Amino acid sequence: MDQSASRPEPLYQRYAWLLVAGLAALLSLGVVAMMATGADPPMQFEADTGVSWTEFTAAYPTVATLVSLEDLLLGASFGGFGLLIAIIAATKFRAGERWAWNVLWTFPAVLAITAVLMIAHDQAGVAVYYIGATVVAAIGLILPARKFLA
């Protein structure tokens, strides 16, 4: 008789899905909160351009509207991505389905790409968050790897 079949699943494998689902849910909630507050789209607009967002919107109202719309659409996309990841992690990944584990690797990949883009655009403070989130998501996927690779 195979001893591995009778051995209970370790706690770190059983609950690793919480890292991925929790992080994705926090990402979605954070994006929704930012969208709900109605903050000016380019948070560092004045630091980057030397012109305040208010002055820019007065001078170029159509462009400012498009920038605001693009920011909302990107937020909705990122929030939707986080929600989808949280649902997959809490259901199919938790149940041990290999396709879910494979698909969920897109999460740390997107977080890492976001961190690189933030660094490339002089947003190192925000990039640190995404680097940390990338590490947490990867750990959440690596911990139960034996279950998916066996």
Give the mean model confidence (pLDDT) for residues 66-70: 85
What digits encode the pLDDT tens for the residues 16-53? 999 999 999 999 998 888 777 765 556 667 777 888 88
Comparing 16-30, 37-51, 74-88, 98-112, the range with the smallest average pLDDT is: 37-51
What Rg do the C-alpha atoms of the chain give, in angstroms? 20
Q: How far is CA 73 from the centre of its chain?
A: 15
Could you report how far apart the first and last alpha carbons of the chain are, in Å?
Answer: 17
Burial of 20 (0-12, 13-18, 19+ CB in 10 A): buried
109 versus 51: which is more confidently predicted? Answer: 109
The single-letter DSSP state of residue 114 is H
Tell me what pLDDT residue 1 has. Answer: 46
Going by C-beta distance under 8 Å and a sequence separation of 6 or more, which residues neighbour residue 29?
A: none
Please state, for a pLDDT cut of 90, what percent of the chain lies above it.
53
Task: Express as a percent the part of the chain with pLDDT over 70.
Answer: 91
Whether this prediction's pTM lies above 0.85 is answered by: no
The residue ranges of every structural domain in the chain are 12-41+72-149
Q: Is the pLDDT of residue 4 over 70?
A: no
pLDDT-derived band at 112, boundaries 50, 70, 90: very high
Predicted pLDDT of residue 127: 92
- State the pLDDT confidence band at 7, using cuts at 50, 70 and 90: confident
* Highest averaged pLDDT of the listed ranges 1-5, 14-18, 34-38, 139-143: 139-143
